[in-house]
Structures are given as C-alpha cells and as structure tokens.
Structure 1
C-alpha cells in the first residue's frame, strides 16, 4: 500500500522561496515545493493575508491539489499510473489489475487480485428496481443522460455506503461504482434499441462482460472475440485516469463538499459528456465521414493548412502532450491489429483514417506543429470496428474513467489540506450604486 497522502504531506519541505514585491513596496514570500517528479510548485496561499488572489482562467497554471495517483510529462510524452508507464500497464495487465493499482497504490498480489476481482464481479448486477427505474426514460435518450441520472440514483439504492468519513465505506462505494458502471452503460444501450437487458456473467472478465451485455441476446449463445476483448481492455486501461482533467476536477470539487460518491461520479459523467472533453473520438469519426473518400484527403488537408474553411482537425495534437501522446502508441498498434483481424483494411472509412494518419506522420506541416495522432483518433476507429455505436463512445470513456474518479475522490478525503473548493473571481461588473 502506498504511503498515505498525509504522510507524504508531512515529509514535504521547502528551502526555496519566490518573492513578490507589491506596488506599495511590501514583499510576500512564497514557499516553493518540489514534487517527486515535475516542475517546482509555488505555494501562493500567503496571498490570503494580503487580501490578494491570482487570476488563471482555465486553471492552466494552477495546481489545485496534492496527488500521488497519476503523473503526466507533456514534453516527454509520458503518462504514469502510480509510477508505472502506461505502455507497460496496457501490455502486461488487465483493466481490473490497473483499477486495483490506481485505488490502492501498488500492484496486487495474486491473492489480493482474486479478492478484488471477486468483489467487483459480485456487484456487477443491478437490482430489478434499478432496471425498472431505467425504463422510465425516453427510448431516444442519449446513454450519457441516462447514466448521469442512474449513477446519481445509486445513492438511493446503496445509502448504507455513502459515509465519506469511513475509509471502508469509501472503498465499498468505489468498488460498487466500478462494478456497476458497465452494466448501467450496456443497459442504457439495450433500452435505446428496444432489446431486453442482458445481465452480467460472473465467469467473464471485465471487458468481455461488457461486450456480452452490449451484443448478446436471449436467442442464441454469444462469446466475445478474444482479440476484441483485448482491444477493449486496452481502451479501458488507457482511459482509466489522466491527472486533474475537467471531469476529475469536477469530481474533486463535488467531493470537497462531502457529497456522496455516487453524486460526485454523476457530476463527473456530466462533465465528461461535454464534447470538448469526452466526445473527441466521436468527433474523429464525424470528421472522417465528412471527408467521405480517400480521394478527398488532399483537399481536406489543404483546407486545414489554409485555416480559412473553419474546419477542425480532430484527433490530432493534445493540450497537455507537446510530444506524441503515449497512449496513442499503444492504441495505434491495437487499431491495426483489430482492422487486420476483422479484415477491415478495405473499409472506406478506415482507408481514410489510415491515409490521414500516414500524411500526418510525414507531412512537414503536422510534424513541425507536433500534430501527431492522439489516443482519440485511434480509439474512435477501434470502437467503430468493434461495432460500438458512436452514442456509446463517451459512455465507454465513463466506464474506464470511473476508477480514476473514485481514486482521486478517495485520496482527497485523506488529504490534510482537505477543504471545500471555493475559487475566486476577477469582478468586472458595476461598482456599488443606489436605487433611485
């Protein structure tokens, strides 16, 4: 088990300071802390004594918390879960092993993993009352809308596990969320197409079970293709966590109020639903469909380069990674394996994608700007090859990211600096005035 955040906090020391000189000549000193990795961080809390605060739209230069879960080095193109490179985890572990690592801090022993797997498996099914509750939605409802409501409603069905002050309660609710999320997602899909719900099979693995619940019917036996199971397992691992992104920050901000875990994760799903966050791989497929044919790629590229058409290049570059997205390396190999296995290399949409990938990796315009294909470019292609409808893309993202959300949520409750989130603002409205 990794050292508690409190212990890590207690060992934090500072022998460096930054000094701010105010217009009146007063100076304020700020401690500078060094993390185990990454740049130094300036502690700006002394500003409170001077009745000052910083202005940082989008929090692009603000560390909102201390964390020991995930580390990103955007310049190196590096992503570490609890210190382990994402490439190694995607190659050598299952999703549930990665879940255990993210929540507990260390890879499980065989005995620990079997206990954890059994707990997740035992809680994959939802109650009949929950299934009946889901039937109240319009059949045309987006799966993410259903998931926001149903996950939030889990607090009404599991109220005995909403005590955020209890580490046992937090562990139990985290396991329940990881276990039930794929079941809820698959049920939302089945309901939208008018098919009966397929309940989870305890003999199946995590990714295998999800494919079963998505595509099996009561009419005939169904066993997911092992190659496709492996591909989905990798998608889940690659999307399990990504440091303090928008949805994780949303979960943490909700958690700072001591809200129950089901409400916090529901808020995270709502944040993820935003097309600027969780909808990128869906946008990739939309772009490929708009291109229409491999013959149109050259014209499309020229439009992008000119910047006059207003069209956007989706699935390339990344706000954090200034180098190649490390997840994309893994997903690229998986993408080609799946297309070859399913003999889809001649599918027109996939031909467009592969030709666009080739150009982006060789064209000087893309190389100079480091507009490399990112994980969303490849994951969207793989999910389509798996016959996953685009409306489910973000739902699958939510299934994967649940473990990241609950790991950060649990961590913040062990943080000695835990307090309610309360950002400030730069007020630009009217000055005080009187009614006449």
Structure 2
C-alpha cells in the first residue's frame, strides 16, 4: 500500500523530501518551509493568488459541490432541511452542531426575538444616507455601527459574549435590512412584531402600511424561509473567507461582518 506522502526532489540541491498528504489530497504549505538551499534561506513558499488551489481551513459546518448539486449543513442534505425545518432551526444547527429539540428550539427562538429591536439612534444613523443609496451599502454601514452600541462585543475570547453577539446579529439583521428598504421608499420604519415568525416579522417590517397587524402571505413567508435556509452558510465563498481574514486580526464581529 502506497504511503500517504508526496516525494519532492529539489533539483537545486539534489535533496529529497517527504511531505505528508492529509485529508486524502492536501499538503500543508508550511511543510514546504523545510525545502531550502542554505541555512539562511527562509524556505520554499507556495504562491496562490485568490486561493484558487489553497484550502484555508477545515469546515465541519457546510459541504458544497455545485457541479453535483450537493449542499449539506452539518451533514444534513439541504433538501431535507428545506422540507422539514425553518430558518431558525437551521441557524441553530449551524451554530450548535445539531438540530434542536422542542425545548431548545423555543429557548433559542426566544433568545433571538428579544434582540430584534435596535437602538433608536440607529434610525438617525440610517436617515443620514441618501434616499437612493443602495440598501446593501446602508446595511453594511449600519451593521458596522453596532460596534459602538455594544462595546462588550470586543471580548471575543469570552464564550458567552460570542453567543450573545451571535443572537444579536441574527435578531437584528432583518430589522436593519427592513429599515434600509423603507428608507429608500421614504416610508416610516416598522418595528419588529415578535408574535410573527422570523421571516413573517421581516415581511411585516418591509411591507406593513396602516393595518393594525400585518398578516404575511403563508406561501410567501415559507418561500422566504426556504430562501434563508439556502443562504444560511456558504462554506468558504468570498464573503465567508473575507470575514475569516478580517476576524483573524480579532476585531469585534460587527466590524467583521
């Protein structure tokens, strides 16, 4: 049986090296450092602009094979999750590693919903944008501003702090997105309605007008929920990799996002 190594001959020196092959098809770039032409040589480095052939991490969260139409979160196929789960269940799965039972789900849902409101000053911040500003630009700027409202987020090495910021981000993102949309339309902002589902609440904040209580179309509500499930995690696409790179310098998660 063949060894799980890569044999390398440095033709500059004639020396041979054995590099371990991990995960079936990966070598560590740092293992190249041992290949030198002299004792003062830094060692060989790999050069891979845009990470076209470099794995930056291992993911236990998501597996994607677009050519084969495969998307799995924590081992669960997307077809099963889209059919049987809602977005908050999938968010729990991604964060915690397993689907919740009823008790844990109810606790998780409550922990998200108590963070749907945003500070009133956020509205003033949002009003500083032009009426025709792109909603994504308004959203990313406002998410970054959350750093100033939650200085405790800087304590990134504290597990409970990280959990709190996770709940805040999941809870407040629909509110901020809806505020951005309403701003472009010149409409008054709609506050969260926690009697509705996660996606139903977003639809309310987007489209509620003069009615006392907004009742989302259940078909649209479910379609949006499935869309959120499909976009819940993207393995190592550009935005995920960018946030990991920024996060490696240890700012708070709002600045990273």
Q: Give your verdict on TM over 0.5.
A: yes
Q: 1:146-200: CA deviations, max 9, x gaps? A: 1111000101001123211111111110110111111000000101111000011
1:240-389 to structure 2, matched below 5 A, reads 240-265=232-257
C-alpha displacement of 1:240: 0.8
Give secondary structure in 2 for the equivalent of 1:42.
Answer: coil
Q: Are residues 56 and 149 of structure 1, via their aligned partners in 2, closer, same or farther at CA, if it must alter by over 3 Å? A: same
CA distance in 2, matches of 1:110, 1:30: 48
In the alignment, what sits opposite 2:19?
30
1:21-420 to structure 2, matched below 5 A, reads 21-24=9-12, 25-34=14-23, 40-50=25-35, 51-218=43-210, 221-265=213-257
Q: 1:288-316: CA deviations, max 9, x gaps? A: xxxxxxxxxxxxxxxxxxxxxxxxxxxxx
Q: Is the 8 A contact 1:162 1:173 kept in 2?
A: no
Using the TM superposition, name which of 130-139 and 190-199 deviates more: 130-139
C-alpha displacement of 1:79: 1.2
Unpaired runs of at least 5, structure 2: 36-42
Q: Are residues 139 and 75 of structure 1, via their aligned partners in 2, closer, same or farther at CA, if it must alter by over 3 Å? A: closer
How many residue pairs were aligned? 247
The one of the two structures with greater contact order (alpha-carbon pairs below 8 A, sep at least 6) is 1
Match 2:5 to one of 14, 17, 27: 17
After superposing on structure 2, the runs of 4+ consecutive aligned residues of structure 1 that deviate more than 6 Å are none
Q: Are residues 196 and 106 of structure 1, via their aligned partners in 2, closer, same or farther at CA, if it must alter by over 3 Å? A: same
CA distance in 2, matches of 1:257, 1:17: 33
CA distance in 2, matches of 1:170, 1:109: 22
CA distance in 2, matches of 1:182, 1:99: 14
In the alignment, what sits opposite 1:349?
none
Q: 1:61-86: CA deviations, max 9, x gaps? A: 11101221111234532111000001
Q: Are residues 44 and 28 of structure 1, via their aligned partners in 2, closer, same or farther at CA, if it must alter by over 3 Å? A: farther
Q: Are residues 251 and 53 of structure 1, via their aligned partners in 2, closer, same or farther at CA, if it must alter by over 3 Å? A: same
CA distance in 2, matches of 1:200, 1:135: 18
CA distance in 1, matches of 2:63, 2:211: 46
CA distance in 1, matches of 2:157, 2:70: 34
In the alignment, what sits opposite 2:40?
none
Q: 1:388-429: CA deviations, max 9, x gaps? A: xxxxxxxxxxxxxxxxxxxxxxxxxxxxxxxxxxxxxxxxxx
Using the TM superposition, name which of 65-74 and 104-113 deviates more: 65-74
CA distance in 2, matches of 1:77, 1:20: 36
CA distance in 1, matches of 2:255, 2:17: 40
Give secondary structure in 1 for the equivalent of 2:57.
Answer: coil
Q: 1:202-226: CA deviations, max 9, x gaps? A: 1011111111100002355421100
Using the TM superposition, name which of 182-191 and 218-227 deviates more: 218-227
C-alpha displacement of 1:28: 2.8
Q: Is the 8 A contact 1:70 1:243 kept in 2?
A: yes
Q: Is the 8 A contact 1:30 1:44 kept in 2?
A: no
Q: Is the 8 A contact 1:147 1:185 kept in 2?
A: yes
Give secondary structure in 2 for the equivalent of 1:251.
Answer: helix
